[in-house]
């Protein structure tokens, strides 16, 4: 009787984790299918190659920069080489402590009339640094189209022309281009593909371009917006307190029923997401701490979901393999051992398939989004641990008041919680 009770409890335990693992397997299957669909069906920037621009509307390219002396030269050079004939470049130095301002001045002198260099005014309370710099650029620009971009972004010479073509062809208010994400350090090469599985699905072009879905999003490396739409939505004043201002601005435009178009442009734009482990870690924390300040319960649910999807399969796989070995001799005298064997075998199979799916999803992102070797996907367990650890660390910090380090600044999120949106 004792053995029977033990076996019943064990069957119940194995049944629960089998159901859980099956749910995780179904979720990863969905992520893979939707991700491949998104890669296949999302519009591509090169689709505008065979169309002629309605007019060469003046574009103001606004480039905020803080401590970007290592990357800004390549960005400016690639912008100057654009085939588009009517644009200006507004460079805004956001209190840099390196040679960024000197480089801006050199380009402004050399390309007078094309390049302007500005120093940010003193940042008011309630403003995040980059948002204030973008707003300063807007105040000094003359274009009817505004392109906001990052100082570590690089462009193909046809990028501006194609984006402007596509905006008018779609009769859109804004176009944001999905860049190729450059990974220059091993930590980012390992971690970013797994993170991108979720970002690519959550903020897919299929969702952003669908007027029936509320999701709106801009990639900070490239979003082209009409001046009238930008002013109507409230400019960067509307999102002055947001650390992820590009996503917040895109979301606000979508909420206000402006027409946004997201388009793939990995062949035309390349951007850095992180430079080393520290900026990777800070970037991950930047996603969670501001979210917690707005929606505490939602943030906890997000982190719980991350644990279930990323960490649980890595725990259950060795557990299922361990369970599958001792059953044959521990329960040889129990009448229902075969049922337990069958259940554990099914659990082991589902665990293996789930882990394989995790690898495949990460490998697809490595290949199609980062253009890097799929061998980095073999380190997906480490990526899962880094992502989950950073989120937990962010949650702990957020509960204490929330401090985010970003672009050489320290932000106390409690100071932004009461900012009027």
Say yes or no: 312 and 339 in one domain: yes
Region of residue 67 (phi > 0: left; psi between -120 and 50: alpha; otherwise: beta):
left
Say yes or no: 113 and 16 in one domain: no
pTM for this model (two decimals): 0.88
Question: If you search the block for the tokens 């409230």, which residue do you land on?
Answer: 234
Output the tens digit of pLDDT for each of the chain's 421 residues: 455 566 677 778 888 889 999 999 999 999 999 999 999 999 999 887 776 655 679 999 999 999 999 999 999 999 999 999 899 999 999 989 999 999 999 999 999 989 999 998 888 888 888 999 999 999 999 999 999 999 999 999 999 999 999 999 999 999 999 999 999 999 999 999 999 999 888 899 999 999 999 999 999 999 999 999 999 999 999 999 888 889 999 999 999 999 999 999 999 999 998 889 988 998 888 888 777 777 888 889 999 999 999 999 999 999 888 777 655 444 444 445 566 777 888 888 999 999 999 999 999 999 998 999 999 999 999 999 999 999 998 888 877 766 666 666 666 655 555 443 3
pLDDT recorded at residue 323: 73
pLDDT recorded at residue 51: 66
The residues with which 412 forms a beta bridge, in sequence order, are: 403
HSE on the CB side for 111, CA within 13 Å? 17
Say yes or no: 269 and 146 in one domain: yes
Say yes or no: 244 and 307 in one domain: no
pLDDT recorded at residue 177: 96
Say yes or no: 15 and 55 in one domain: no
Say yes or no: 250 and 395 in one domain: no
What total number of domains does the chain contain?
A: 2
Say yes or no: 382 and 306 in one domain: yes
Say yes or no: 92 and 7 in one domain: no
pLDDT recorded at residue 338: 63
The arrangement of strands across the sheet holding 153-155 comes to: 153-155, 269-272, 180-182
pLDDT recorded at residue 108: 96
Instruction: Note whether 218 and 250 are within 8 A (CB).
Output: yes
Say yes or no: 270 and 335 in one domain: no
Say yes or no: 362 and 265 in one domain: no
Helices (H), 234-336: 245-255, 277-294, 296-306, 312-324, 327-330
CATH number at 131 reads 3.90.550.10
Say yes or no: 111 and 237 in one domain: yes
Instruction: Note whether 306 and 395 are within 8 A (CB).
Output: no
The domain in which residue 298 lies consists of 2-35+294-415
């Amino acid at each position: 009787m004792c053995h029977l009770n033990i076996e019943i409890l064990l069957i119940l335990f194995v049944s629960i984790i089998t159901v859980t693992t099956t749910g995780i397997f179904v979720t990863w299957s969905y992520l893979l299918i939707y991700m491949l669909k998104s890669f296949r069906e999302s519009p591509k920037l090169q689709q505008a190659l065979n169309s002629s621009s309605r007019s060469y509307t003046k574009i103001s390219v606004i480039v905020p920069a803080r401590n970007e002396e290592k990357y800004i030269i390549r960005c400016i050079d690639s912008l100057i080489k654009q085939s588009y004939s009517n644009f200006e470049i507004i460079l805004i130095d956001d209190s840099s402590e390196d040679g960024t301002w000197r480089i801006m001045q050199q380009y402004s002198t050399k390309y007078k009339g094309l390049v302007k260099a500005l120093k940010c005014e003193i940042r008011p309370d309630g403003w995040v640094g980059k948002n204030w710099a973008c707003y300063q650029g807007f105040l000094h620009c003359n274009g009817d189209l505004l392109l906001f971009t990052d100082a570590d972004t690089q462009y193909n010479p046809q990028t501006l022309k194609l984006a402007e073509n596509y905006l008018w062809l779609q009769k859109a208010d804004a176009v944001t281009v999905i860049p190729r994400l450059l990974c220059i350090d091993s930590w980012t090469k390992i971690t970013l593909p797994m993170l991108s599985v979720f970002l690519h699905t959550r903020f897919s072009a299929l969702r952003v371009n669908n007027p029936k879905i509320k999701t709106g999003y801009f990639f900070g490396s490239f979003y082209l917006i009409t001046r009238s739409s930008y002013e109507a939505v409230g400019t960067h004043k509307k999102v002055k307190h947001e650390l992820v201002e590009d996503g917040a601005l895109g979301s606000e435009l979508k909420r206000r029923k402006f027409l946004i178009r997201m388009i793939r442009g990995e062949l035309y734009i390349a951007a850095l997401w992180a430079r080393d482990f520290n900026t990777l870690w800070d970037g991950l924390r930047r996603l969670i701490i501001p979210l917690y300040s707005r929606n505490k319960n939602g943030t906890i649910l997000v982190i719980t979901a991350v644990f279930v999807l990323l960490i649980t399969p890595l725990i259950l796989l060795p557990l299922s393999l361990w369970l599958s070995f001792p059953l044959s001799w521990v329960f040889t005298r129990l009448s229902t051992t075969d049922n337990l064997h069958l259940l554990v075998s099914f659990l082991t199979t589902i665990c293996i398939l789930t882990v394989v799916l995790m690898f495949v999803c990460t490998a697809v992102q490595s290949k199609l989004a980062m253009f890097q070797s799929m061998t980095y996907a073999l380190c997906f367990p480490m990526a899962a641990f880094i992502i989950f650890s950073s989120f937990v660390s962010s949650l702990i910090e957020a509960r204490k008041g929330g401090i985010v380090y970003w672009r050489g600044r320290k932000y106390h999120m409690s100071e932004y919680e009461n900012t009027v949106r």
